Amino acid sequence: MKLENHFLPEDISDASKEYWAVLDLMAAIMRKINDSDIEIAKHFSIDLTKSLHELTKLSDKKYKQDRYQEMINEMKEQGIHIELVRGLMHER
HEC per residue, the chain:
CCHHHCCCHHHHHHHHHHHHHHHHHHHHHHHHHHCCCHHHHHHHHHHHHHHHHHHHHHHHHHHHHHHHHHHHHHHHHCCCCHHHHHHHHHHC
pTM of the model: 0.78
Which is more confidently placed, 18 or 70? 18
Host domain of residue 28: 11-91
Which is more confidently placed, 73 or 26? 26
- Determine, yes or no, domain membership for 63: yes
- Determine, yes or no, domain membership for 33: yes
- Determine, yes or no, domain membership for 40: yes
Tally the domains of the chain.
Answer: 1
Alpha-carbon gap, residue 22 to 48, rounded angstroms? 6
Q: How confident is the model at residue 85 (pLDDT cuts 50, 70, 90)?
A: low
- Determine, yes or no, domain membership for 1: no
Q: How confident is the model at residue 81 (pLDDT cuts 50, 70, 90)?
A: confident
- Determine, yes or no, domain membership for 6: no
Alpha-carbon gap, residue 86 to 92, rounded angstroms? 10
Check if the beta carbon of residue 51 is closer than 8 Å to that of residue 18. yes
- Determine, yes or no, domain membership for 3: no
